[in-house]
Amino acid sequence: MSRRRSRRGKEKDDDLTVEAIYGENKIRRRVAKAMRWSRRGKEIAEETVEAEDVKELMPERLFATDRFPNKRVSTTDYLSRVRNALNNTLEMAKLIGSCFGGLFKLPAQRLKPLRFPLVGFGEVMGLPCGEFEDGYSIDFTYPIRMKRRNCYNGSRVVRRFGTSSAAEKIISPSVQVSCTQLLIDGNFVDATSGKTFQTLDPRTGEVIADVAEGDAEDIDRAVKAARKAFDKGPWPRMTAYERSRIMLRFADLVEKHSEELAALETWDNGKTYQQAKTAEIPMLARLFRYYAGWADKIHGLTVPADGNYHVQTLHEPIGVAGQIIPWNFPLLMFAWKVGPALACGNTIVLKTAEQTPLTAFYAGKLFLEAGLPPGVLNIVSGFGPTAGASLASHMDVDKLAFTGSTDTGKVILGLAANSNLKPVTLELGGKSPFIVFEDANINKAVELAHFALFFNQGQCCCAGSRTYVHEKVYDEFVEKAKARALKRVVGDPFKKGIEQGPQIDSKQFEKVMRYIRSGVESNATLECGGDQIGNKGYFIQPTVFSNVKDDMLIAQDEIFGPVQSILKFRDVDEVIRRANETRYGLAAGVFTKSLDTANRVSRALKAGTVWVNCFDVFDAAIPFGGYKMSGNGREKGIYSLNNYLQIKAVVTALNNPAWI
Amino acid sequence: MENGKCNGGATAKLPEIKFTKLFINGQFLDAASGKTFETIDPRNGEVIAKIAAGDKEDVDLAVNAARHAFDHGPWPRMTGFERARIINKYTDLIQQNIEELAALDAVDGGKLFQVGKMNDIPAAAGHFRYYAGAADKIHGETLRMTRPSLFGYTLKEPIGVVGHIIPWNFPSIMFAMKVAPALAAGCTMVVKPAEQTPLSALFYAHLSKEAGFPDGVINVVTGFGSTAGAAIASHMDIDKVSFTGSTDVGRKIMQAAATSNLKKVSLELGGKSPLLIFDDADVNKAAELALLGCFYNKGEICVASSRVFVQEGIYDKVVAKMVEKVKDWPVGDPFDSTSRQGPQVDKKQYEKVLSYIEHGKNEGATLLTGGNAIGDKGYYIEPTIFADVTDDMKIYKEEIFGPVMSLMKFKTMEEGIKCANNTKYGLAAGIVSQNVDVINTVSRSIKAGVIWVNCYFAFDLDSPYGGYKMSGNCRESGMDALDSYLQVKSIAMPLHNSPWM
């Protein structure tokens, strides 16, 4: 391994394109030479092998690169990279062909003109680096430098995709991690087992803090505390007005501590500090103010009935609510779940995502300060299969709410079914279409489509991940979408002006990279991006695919990363049909100036939210939720209250009523 | 002193009177005419302060400011949440000034200082808090249109410039009950407080400036009904008038609206509310509720249980208990924490109440207790109970607005219902019984906007309140109150090729 490692010594080389140093022809020669230096590469080059054989020839350990310090690239991935590269680049194919001679037989028509020279080349070759006679070293794990040069068609090196995580000093967050223990019954306590887990900084993969690792026993303790607080405590018994006062006080405290909360959120999650500070923390406070306003306005009905009956419905709190929140918007998901549950008078056991346990504890501390009685809000950090599963299957939890992947949602629903049939609200994955009609304002649509997908590193369940563009404006759109993606500033999320931080963790990072390879492999056109940035943390280049077809994996699966897929359509009927041909149904965007088109399409799309000439408009009052396998139930708005209420009909016989 | 002792000796420091001028477009101004009127301390009839006497010219100025703030200002253009932030700030300020506001209402209206501190001012703040929470929850609806290929929805828009005319019996709560929902809806307004109690309204005006309401959103014009009030009711540029007061004045307001621009009118008027005590009632509890219902706030409350009907089986016991309990109903200085009843608001009301008491005596009702003025200073009247009152008597029919109870006997539930409804009013009613059938039947049978079962004055922020018959035509409090300050706009458009209708 060690001899395969990069010997590049000069960091400044990161800034230069290979091409700029050597010129195209020279580099080809040297690349070929460099490849021949690889013993394994040579072996392959000398043999004609099938895919399975490559697996044997190239054991996994060989694919460890310094990009993945503790990870290995699987041979399957490796092969798909080879295929991608071959399919996309005539030049590369020739190059590879000359080295590997007939390793893969490529149909001539699938070879394309040189468009993305050497994209992923180093990886494809299994060569993290090469070495040249004149003393320069070249690291093929960063072929983006070559691609970038090409995309801009200019002679100057344009440095847009920041490599700040690798090249710059990491900014230290100005916040102390003070709460790392479980919040149970008003106290911060260790896990019963005494175990902890590490929460990592996605900028570097380094440890931020050791956090208590809650397990079934801790969930049990938390449920007991919540049960006691609900059955005997003051919370459901105080007036709604008093509950609302406590929630308003919490909102005040959130505003007072907005900087700490934002810094923690960025540190743990990798979202930009600016986004956390100016959008998410204010929204957190705003959501709690909103729900505080509902607390004293939760109305049942008096109901007409056939006969002499007086009927009333009482909207009672449902009891102990179990809530499992994801890592992409830790505090906002906290608010979506905790806000309505508290307004309705419930008590809560909240399990945070293991990737992002920090801010919920901080918020929990503020809630205690605001006067929330002990046991009303219990927070358990830990893992899904242990803490999450025991919460979902707990016999004393009256209600479950989950936000996360569709696969996990299925498990959760199963656990609820197999335990006490607790009602379940699910907020799951999506593959939301973003439809641009020919009459749309293209510049605005490009910008919003970009935002719809890349916002929050693409880690949004409602991300506009299928950009359908009318054929008449398709080329223009693709060109502009690509240009916009290339302008996206990626780097340390604490830095001002950064638009995109790292993906949450190595698992997600690799998943996204897999999908990118799958896109290339399935013959979508990689317009830009496609690779990691830097060699530390989980930064991914903003990636745009054009010529995406509905049957490609990247058009079907939720990628949850900065990968935009642009598809072409011809007419309204077609795009409605295609947009609905997904198992998901979370959201959609429609861009048109035509009122008729807007009305028609918004009614025809099977999705819980349709944004017309806008996207990602989240407001406390606007309900959000999914059709089909994107979930059930609605969060936010008046509708969210239903999730946390039991409805009791009280029917009283009437004697001689004056009227019925 | 036959009934209750008079705590006339208690004295309290007058609150400093800081605001005496009209509040228009964010400024405190003298009346255009330069005129003032005196607001009087009902404890002794002495002048507290001279207040700017607003008239038509001042109302015009205030309406102009409100009009401008509505048509061009930020208030209706802010999000509901932004409005809520300011209203919440206003609430915080009110809560920080509870003592001072309670003192102003006590000295100006003869209201108990302690009750003001514990109830009136916190309740006023509660209204603002409640409607701050409502500002972002004003929903229109998307519609199921009956005709094919049509899509429709409703928008609830703020109605515009509102004129509020508020009474003197609950200066703070009435101010909040009217101003808060109008603010939440996005309206701008001109408030005219009663000439008897202008002080707290001006203080609220001052706090509104501090809270950050844009200029012109809240304007307060102090003055008289026949001048300032009439100018509001007949103003061509006011979109809505909301009035709480007597039925007679309500009629004039509606006429003025009718002959001017047909502005929408909300009326919250008088009452002669019945309290029905059934045989199965707890005697002690029933007597307590009856006394509270009739004498609270010295009987100056539109929902006062001024007609108490007791079923014959329990009648004697309830009467005895009430007569016993009323002895522990001390009348005195409203700043004395042992007082349960202060002076009537002014000389006119005082004389009116005393004249009703005379009518009661002359018409043959049996005076069980009270019946006299107390002391020779201020406007104190003994809690007064008449028995054997019949439905042809003036004290049975008319709203006295003082501590005078009419007590009647009834036999059956049917008779009780008939008696309760035997009035031109329909504001509130109380029922004391443990029988669920009785309660259900009576609650549905009484024509009144509010029914209190085994309780009285169970007002709540979330509970709508308003009158049947000649007690008014609207609902205040709760989400229903917002409707008074909203226009409903329906929008319809063709819909092509919708997959569902």
Residues 6+ apart with CB under 8 A from A511: A559, A560, A561
> How far apart are alpha carbons B255 and B244 in whole angstroms?
15
Evaluate whether B138 touches B157 at the Cβ level (below 8 Å): no
**Minimal Cα–Cα distance from A546 to chain B, Å?**
30
> How far apart are alpha carbons A428 and A625 in whole angstroms?
8
What DSSP character marks residue A186? T
User: Could you give phi then psi for residue A524, rounded to 5 degrees?
Assistant: -70, 155
Question: For chain A, first and last CA: distance in Å?
Answer: 86
In Å, how far from its chain's centre is CA A482? 21
β-sheet bridge partners, residue A302: A312
User: What's the average pLDDT block by block, 10 residues per block, for chain A (660 residues)?
Assistant: 39 37 49 46 38 37 34 48 47 42 34 32 37 31 30 30 52 93 98 97 96 98 98 96 96 97 97 97 97 96 90 96 98 98 98 98 98 98 97 98 96 96 97 98 97 97 97 97 96 95 96 96 96 92 97 97 98 97 97 95 96 95 97 96 95 87
Q: Which residue of A has its CA nearest to B128?
A: A293
Name residue, tokens 């899509």.
B151
Q: Which residue of A has its CA nearest to B444?
A: A658
Residues of chain A neighbouring B134 (CB-CB closer than 8 A)? 293, 297
> How far apart are alpha carbons B194 and B163 in whole angstroms?
13
Interface test with A, best of B183, B440, B447, B453 (most A CBs within 10 A): B440
Q: Residue A390: in which H helix or E strand, if any? A: helix A389-392
> How far apart are alpha carbons A43 and A527 in whole angstroms?
33
| CB contact burial A474-492 (16+ within 10 A = b; e otherwise) | beebbebbbbbbbebebbb
β-sheet bridge partners, residue B36: B52
**Minimal Cα–Cα distance from A610 to chain B, Å?**
15
Q: Is B392 on the interface with A (CB under 8 A)?
A: no
∠ CA A123-A126-A127, rounded to 5°: 85
What is the residue-wise DSSP string for B228-256? Answer: IIHHHHT-TT-SEEEEES-HHHHHHHHHH
Residue A29 confidence (pLDDT): 57
> How far apart are alpha carbons A495 and A164 in whole angstroms?
10
> How far apart are alpha carbons B6 and B332 in whole angstroms?
5
What is the residue-wise DSSP string for A585-637? Answer: -SEEEEE-S-HHHHHHHHHHS--SEEEES------TTS-B--SGGGEES-BST
Residues of chain A neighbouring B494 (CB-CB closer than 8 A)? 596
Q: Is B437 on the interface with A (CB under 8 A)?
A: yes
What DSSP character marks residue A203? T
The reply to whether residue A658 touches residue B497, judged by beta carbons under 8 angstroms, is: no
Span B468-485, average pLDDT: 96
What is the residue-wise DSSP string for A357-401? Answer: -HHHHHHHHHHHHHTPPTTSEEEEEB-IIIIIHHHHT-TT--EEE
Q: Residue A206: in which H helix or E strand, if any? A: strand A206-212
Q: Helices marked H in A495-544 — which ranges?
A: 506-521
Joined tokens for residue A560: 């949850």
> How far apart are alpha carbons B221 and B57 in whole angstroms?
11
Name residue, tokens 């994209």.
A119
Residues 6+ apart with CB under 8 A from B304: B271, B273, B293, B294, B296, B401
The reply to whether residue A294 touches residue B81, judged by beta carbons under 8 angstroms, is: no
> How far apart are alpha carbons A463 and A456 in whole angstroms?
9
User: Could you give phi then psi for residue B26, rounded to 5 degrees?
Assistant: 80, 5
Span B361-375, average pLDDT: 96
Q: Which residue of B has its CA nearest to A295?
A: B133
Residue A660 confidence (pLDDT): 79
**Minimal Cα–Cα distance from B209 to chain A, Å?**
22
Q: Which residue of B has its CA nearest to A247?
A: B133
The reply to whether residue B81 touches residue A620, judged by beta carbons under 8 angstroms, is: yes
Q: Which amino acid is at A283?
A: M
Residue A24 confidence (pLDDT): 52
Residues 6+ apart with CB under 8 A from B330: B4, B5, B6, B7, B338, B339, B340, B341
A427 is catalytic: yes
Q: Is B498 on the interface with A (CB under 8 A)?
A: yes
Per-residue pLDDT reduced to its tens digit, B161-204: 999 999 999 999 999 999 999 999 999 999 999 999 999 999 99
Sign of CA dihedral B96, B98, B100, B104: positive
Interface of B with A in 300-319 (CB under 8 A): none
Give B382's Cβ-side CA count (13 Å radius): 22
Nearest to B25 by CA among B286, B270, B218: B218
> How far apart are alpha carbons A208 and A327 in whole angstroms?
15
β-sheet bridge partners, residue A214: A382
Q: Is B495 on the interface with A (CB under 8 A)?
A: yes
Joined tokens for residue B191: 């408030």
> How far apart are alpha carbons B33 and B21 in whole angstroms?
12
Q: Which amino acid is at A90?
A: L
Sign of CA dihedral A238, A241, A247, A250: negative
What DSSP character marks residue B13? P
Name residue, tokens 């700030």.
B89
Catalytic one of B195, B268, B382, B476 = B268
Evaluate whether B145 touches B153 at the Cβ level (below 8 Å): no
Q: Is B497 on the interface with A (CB under 8 A)?
A: yes
In order of their start, the domains of chain B are: 20-268+470-486 (3.40.605.10), 272-451 (3.40.309.10)
Span B378-396, average pLDDT: 97
Q: Which amino acid is at B343?
A: P
Residues of chain B neighbouring A296 (CB-CB closer than 8 A)? 130, 133, 461-462
> How far apart are alpha carbons B195 and B224 in whole angstroms?
6
Radius of gyration of chain A measured on its C-alpha atoms: 27
ipTM greater than cut 0.90: no
Span B33-61, average pLDDT: 97
Nearest to A372 by CA among A171, A472, A274, A229: A229
Name residue, tokens 């895919």.
A51
The reply to whether residue A599 touches residue B151, judged by beta carbons under 8 angstroms, is: yes
Nearest to A297 among B88, B134, B444 (CB): B134
User: Could you give phi then psi for residue B276, rounded to 5 degrees?
Assistant: -105, 120
Q: Where are the beta strands (DSSP E) in B258-300?
A: 264-268, 274-277
Per-residue pLDDT reduced to its tens digit, B74-126: 999 999 999 999 999 999 999 999 999 999 999 999 999 999 999 999 999 99
Sign of CA dihedral B155, B161, B164, B165: negative
Q: Count H helices and E strands in chain A, helices first.
A: 25, 22
**Minimal Cα–Cα distance from A237 to chain B, Å?**
17
Residue B500 confidence (pLDDT): 86
Q: Is B431 on the interface with A (CB under 8 A)?
A: no
Catalytic one of A19, A213, A265, A427 = A427
> How far apart are alpha carbons A401 and A337 in whole angstroms?
7
β-sheet bridge partners, residue B24: B27
Sign of CA dihedral A568, A571, A574, A577: positive
User: Could you give phi then psi for residue B339, rounded to 5 degrees?
Assistant: -70, 145
Q: Which amino acid is at A247?
A: M
> How far apart are alpha carbons A419 and A222 in whole angstroms?
18
With a cut of 80, say whether residue B332 has pLDDT above it.
Answer: yes
> How far apart are alpha carbons B294 and B109 in whole angstroms?
18
> Rounded to two decimals, what is the model's pTM?
0.81
Q: Which residue of B has its CA nearest to A245?
A: B129
